[in-house]
Chain A
Amino acid sequence: MADSHEVKRRDFVNIVVVALGTVIGLVIGIPAIGYLIAPATKVQREEAWIPLGPLEAYPLNIPTLFSYTRTRINGWEKTVNSFGAYVWRHGGGESELTVYSNMCTHLSCRVTWREDITAYFCPCHDGRFNKEGEVITGPPPEPLYEYETKVEEETLFIKHMDV
């Protein structure tokens, strides 16, 4: 078979069947993969300034939680996600404050400020952060996320960014 350069009819048919089969497989297979991964290819990233109310509402030197929700559309439904921001005023001035996200940097559980241990505590894997948001103990790899802030007309704003 390999000695003669002529292509036998049987071989020709085999080659055509394999070639056509590959083409049909690709024509069907690529849309099928596209269909399955479609929701993953649409990344929704938005940022927004969230008003946290007047600055005086937050006590001095005690991290205080502000909760807010963000809504976005997934598929055929609206998904409401909750977020929390800890406002820590270390002085009376407008710029003397830091706002941390309550999302643990380990695996995204939510941390709470506990006055008794003076630390942000994550219940999932016993992670702890100090008042400056730095890791004290536990598995978290990074300090707590720090929001960008601004004060306009005595109202505190933080810059929310979708993950």
Chain B
Amino acid sequence: MTVKVITWLDERLGLTTIYDLVLDRKVPKVNWWFTLGSASLFLFVLQGVTGIFLSVYYVPSPGQAYNSIQYIMNGVTFGWLIRGIHSWGSSLMVIIVFIHMLRTFFMGAYKFPREITWLTGVFLLFATLGMGFTGYLLPWNQRAFWATTVGTEIAGTVPLIGDFILRVLRGGSDLSAVTLARFFSVHIWFLPVVIIALISVHMYLVVRLGISSVPKEEESESSGEAA
């Protein structure tokens, strides 16, 4: 029965083709460093799911942000768990994405024909840092407030247009309700949409081009350049 259903669906959706292309594609013999991309993707999904759950109770307003998080932590069943995963997961994601970038760099995996994979990856790293920066303000506690004060102040040191950048980031000269609202919006809409689009291109290229193999020591020693 299940076989019949699966066959019926497969004839119409081409599921096995997708499965073969994406999951059963040929890969060179690689090591654990090559799992960091999948780990990054998993963490992004985890952050997305826990973030959606947090938005059930969180309110992005100066009067209520802090109290709504107190309620998540103390009043909601497993609220501490959902927020804990989101909070710790964000730090872990920055670390994993960064190591993923280092691995790609040191193994020369960014070279032809994978330059666009590398470029989208660089923007994904920036977007991940942006998620960390915007998410850090949302608890609206002392640490969040002053971290964002310092962060936006640093952006303000850019020559000539610095003050303008600062006002764009804060939505005015002061760190206010406007800042909280726009950081929230960027955190849950703008950056996730950008990240999903970039991940789509990134993954399409990984499937299309395949992954590079581990560079061999002899090759780089004899010819002076990596494969």
Roughly how many angstroms separate A39 CA and B56 CA in the complex, as a whole number?
11
Type the 1/0 row for A71-112, where 1 means its CB is closer than 8 Å to any CB of B: 000011100000000000000000000000000000000000
By a CB distance below 8 angstroms, the chain B residues around A32 are: 53, 78, 82
Cβ distance B93 to chain A, nearest Cβ, rounded Å: 18
Roughly how many angstroms separate A99 CA and B68 CA in the complex, as a whole number?
39
Which bucket holds chain B's interface residue count?
10 to 19
* Interfacial residues of chain A within 39-93, with CB under 8 A of chain B in the complex: 39, 41, 75-77
Chain A binding surface SS class: helix
A35/B76 in contact, CB under 8 A? yes
Roughly how many angstroms separate A41 CA and B78 CA in the complex, as a whole number?
13
Cβ distance A14 to chain B, nearest Cβ, rounded Å: 13
Roughly how many angstroms separate A39 CA and B57 CA in the complex, as a whole number?
10
A34/B53 in contact, CB under 8 A? no
A35/B53 in contact, CB under 8 A? yes
Cβ distance A63 to chain B, nearest Cβ, rounded Å: 40
By a CB distance below 8 angstroms, the chain B residues around A36 are: 53, 56
Cβ distance A37 to chain B, nearest Cβ, rounded Å: 8
Closest to A35 in B: B78
Roughly how many angstroms separate A127 CA and B53 CA in the complex, as a whole number?
42
- Cβ of A25 within 8 Å of any chain B Cβ, yes or no, is no
Roughly how many angstroms separate A103 CA and B23 CA in the complex, as a whole number?
62
By a CB distance below 8 angstroms, the chain B residues around A77 are: 64, 67
By a CB distance below 8 angstroms, the chain A residues around B68 are: 75-76
Known: A76-B70, A76-B71. A38 touches B76 (CB 8 A): yes
Cβ distance B17 to chain A, nearest Cβ, rounded Å: 21
- Cβ of B38 within 8 Å of any chain A Cβ, yes or no, is no
Roughly how many angstroms separate A31 CA and B58 CA in the complex, as a whole number?
18
Roughly how many angstroms separate A32 CA and B67 CA in the complex, as a whole number?
21
Cβ distance B68 to chain A, nearest Cβ, rounded Å: 5
Which single member of B57, B70, B71, B81 contacts A31 (CB below 8 Å)?
B81
Which single member of A35, A37, A76 contacts B82 (CB below 8 Å)?
A35
Cβ distance B107 to chain A, nearest Cβ, rounded Å: 30
Roughly how many angstroms separate A31 CA and B68 CA in the complex, as a whole number?
19
Roughly how many angstroms separate A31 CA and B59 CA in the complex, as a whole number?
21
Cβ distance A24 to chain B, nearest Cβ, rounded Å: 12
* Interfacial residues of chain B within 23-69, with CB under 8 A of chain A in the complex: 53, 56-57, 59, 64, 67-68
Roughly how many angstroms separate A152 CA and B56 CA in the complex, as a whole number?
47
Q: A residues within 8 Å of B by Cβ?
A: 31-32, 34-39, 41, 75-77
Q: List 8 A-B contacts (CB under 8 A).
A: A31-B82, A32-B78, A36-B53, A36-B56, A75-B68, A75-B71, A76-B70, A77-B67
**CB-based closest 10 A-B pairs:** A76-B67, A31-B78, A34-B77, A38-B77, A76-B71, A38-B76, A35-B78, A76-B68, A75-B71, A34-B78
